[in-house]
Structure 1
Amino acid sequence: MKLIIAIVQDDDASDLIDVLTDDGFRVTKLATTGGFLKSGNTTLMMGVEKEDVDKVLSVIEDVCKTRDQVVTSPSPMAGATGVYVPYPVEVEVGGATIFVLDVDNFIRF
């Protein structure tokens, strides 16, 4: 048994959960917040059999595509002048961060 922890962007979470549950996997959803963009993301936890890990990873890769997004960032002048001047910055968002852990004991009540 393996525990898959997948951190995905909120925009991808709903579609990913739908596909995983349609494929028969149980998913626990946790609302979390990212540190870099301070934006919402979702952490999904799934207990799966060892032989199903590649299938789950493939589904995550298919659903959670990376894309470019424009965000505003404070200008470097803000520190010197005390004036906040936002300017657009293009960053890559989406995708997934995934941890696959061994499970010593699995109990379901």
Structure 2
Amino acid sequence: MKLLIAIVHDDDVHALLEELTAKEFRVTKLATTGGFLRSGNTTLLIGVEDSKVDELIDIIKENCEAREQITTPPAPVSGTAGVFIPYPIEITVGGATIFVVDIEKYIKL
């Protein structure tokens, strides 16, 4: 058995959860925040049999497409002595970061 930890953009999570639920994957959803832009992400914890890992990754790929976006970075929290002038930057949002972890023991009570 494996545990997939998938970090996805908030804009992608609704369609992904619908498809995962329709295909009977059990998912735990956690609200998380990204570091650089402090933007909303969702972390999904999904326990799955080894034989279904590739299917699950394919579903995530289909629903979490990376795209370019123009944004201005947030102001620094501290350490600036001068005036902060934000300049627009192009960033990639969406997509997914997936970790696949071996499960030594699974207990459901």
The normalised TM-score by structure 2 is 0.90
Stretches of structure 1 that go unaligned for 5 or more consecutive residues are none
Deviations 1:50-97 (A, max 9, x none): 00000000000010000011111379xxx9871222221111111100
Name the aligned partner's letter for residue 44 of structure 2: L
Q: How many residues are paired up?
A: 106
**Which aligned segments of 4 or more residues in structure 1 are displaced greater than 3 angstroms?**
none
Instruction: Establish whether residue 98 from structure 1 lines up as the match of residue 98 from structure 2.
Output: yes
Q: Aligned residue for 1:3?
A: 3
Q: Aligned residue for 1:53?
A: 53
Secondary structure of 2:26's partner? coil
Q: Aligned residue for 1:88?
A: 88
Q: CA RMSD in A?
A: 1.8
The normalised TM-score by structure 1 is 0.90
Secondary structure of 2:21's partner? helix
Q: Give the strand-richer structure, 1 or 2.
A: 1
Q: Structure 1 residues 81, 46: closer, same or farther in 2, change over 3 A?
A: closer
Secondary structure of 1:3's partner? strand
Partner Cα distance (2:36, 2:86) in 1: 17
Stretches of structure 2 that go unaligned for 5 or more consecutive residues are none
